[in-house]
Structure 1
């Protein structure tokens, strides 16, 4: 047994962090600073659904659990980081999950690596054109009785199943309606008729969901690992920014250089 390695699966947080299309900017103000007060204190104004974060069931289903009601055990356990490469607007299917390696087992935490995390930045490619889970894939995960699911894209759902498209308060990016029609010959609602079905299937069945997984995920793709991604202890919270971490034997990590981030770029 080699030395334990902690692999960061989180994107960084800050006032230039890329945001989902309907959120206001993160604001960070200095309340005290060294020249003034001899200490540094900062005030942060943010939504919790930015950078790498966990959704609570109350975020999408009225009457379900808030962050403080979810057992800590739900945010921690053993699982797999499966490689399911996908391109623009492609669907992550139940068949993809059934054929994934390592094999997904009951009780697993499942982290899905499509490769889309490399586009994370203040750009439409990441938020509007990502792949995503289908209802059938979410139902497969539910029936498999997995513990939690993390995705390296903008949401647990395909972007065309969110308010980015004509769902809920959408379309947040109206030109996608015509773009999809021109590209496929079909209306978005023909192919994506439901609003966030994967969110609802997973979270309403007690399956924790992490969005915007990234960081050094390539180091653990194809591995069975231990995962933790704890929220802050927020009473009545709808979700939480997390520090998502994989624990692995140092000798077993994939030989990939750690990612270097620059805000505002992919």
Structure 2
């Protein structure tokens, strides 16, 4: 197996959407203080770092992350490498030019290179998926879309009055899962891969922090 970890680590003070609380790590017990074991705890909003959005994130009453079968989080997929600037939309043509066309049932990972800006304020000003691309993913039977940006929708400061998260609503409304804040996808651009994206099964969770790993060695019979 040739595994590539495409998820960010978690640490106190890491970048996040401003409305979310800070990531904090608490030491509950220390061997140095006489405890038999080291034990720590974290405070973490479910939409910080690499995570997977459940349908309940955008659709009230829809499935939560723990209600999705484990099979939804692994499968063959394609990595489309695209080159767009802040505020520009990523289109169907961009995806098809950037890698193999996803077959029905295959995941789509969109590699923009934005993860290189993760520690910079520039990370918040990114391209976005066009609503037409989101609708196309639904029509094509793509069950999972991953991006190396903070969101597939428009950046916060570029949203007009009444903005209603059209990409989230289109994808999650059709139970197409969304992975956000992926990293190191660019080197995989243009390839067909196998994706393992397992979130924590948080009961009632509208998302789950995830360790997302890509396997570049495809099983026999699958092609790049």
**Does structure 2 conserve the Cα–Cα contact (< 8 Å) formed by 1:91 and 1:133?**
yes
> Which structure's residues are more often strand, by fraction?
2
Structure 1 residue 202 corresponds to structure 2 residue 208: no
> How far did 1:193 drift?
6.2
Moved more, 106-115 or 89-98: 89-98
> How far did 1:139 drift?
0.4
In 2, Cα distance between equivalents of 1:78 and 1:102: 12
Aligned counterpart, 2:153: 157
- Give the aligned length: 217
**Does structure 2 conserve the Cα–Cα contact (< 8 Å) formed by 1:8 and 1:217?**
no
Aligned counterpart, 1:64: 62
Structure 1 residue 14 corresponds to structure 2 residue 11: yes
Structure 1 residue 137 corresponds to structure 2 residue 106: no
User: Of the candidates 44, 49, 57, which is equivalent to residue 46 of structure 1?
Assistant: 44
Moved more, 46-55 or 96-105: 96-105
Query: In the TM superposition, what whole-angstrom CA distance separates every residue of 1:44-69 from its partner, at most 9, and x where no partner exists?
Result: 11101111100011111111111111
Structure 1 residue 220 corresponds to structure 2 residue 188: yes
In 2, Cα distance between equivalents of 1:246 and 1:206: 22
Structure 2 portions without partners, runs of 5+: 219-224
TM-score of the aligned structures, taking structure 2 as reference length: 0.91
SS in structure 2 opposite 1:150? strand
In 2, Cα distance between equivalents of 1:200 and 1:21: 22
Aligned counterpart, 1:232: 200
Q: CA RMSD in A?
A: 1.7
User: Of the candidates 245, 249, 266, which is equivalent to residue 213 of structure 2?
Assistant: 245
Moved more, 195-204 or 33-42: 33-42
In 1, Cα distance between equivalents of 2:94 and 2:216: 25
Structure 1 portions without partners, runs of 5+: 166-175, 177-187, 251-266
User: Of the candidates 19, 23, 41, which is equivalent to residue 20 of structure 2?
Assistant: 23
In 1, Cα distance between equivalents of 2:30 and 2:43: 18
Moved more, 83-92 or 192-201: 192-201
> How far did 1:105 drift?
1.6
> How far did 1:83 drift?
0.3
**Does structure 1 conserve the Cα–Cα contact (< 8 Å) formed by 2:105 and 2:143?**
yes
Report the structure number with the largest CA radius of gyration: 1
Aligned counterpart, 2:222: none
Mapping of residues 83-98 of structure 1, within 5 Å: 83-98=81-96
In 1, Cα distance between equivalents of 2:95 and 2:216: 22
> How far did 1:225 drift?
0.5
Query: In the TM superposition, what whole-angstrom CA distance separates every residue of 1:165-214 from its partner, at most 9, and x where no partner exists?
Result: 4xxxxxxxxxx6xxxxxxxxxxx53xx96421000100110111100010
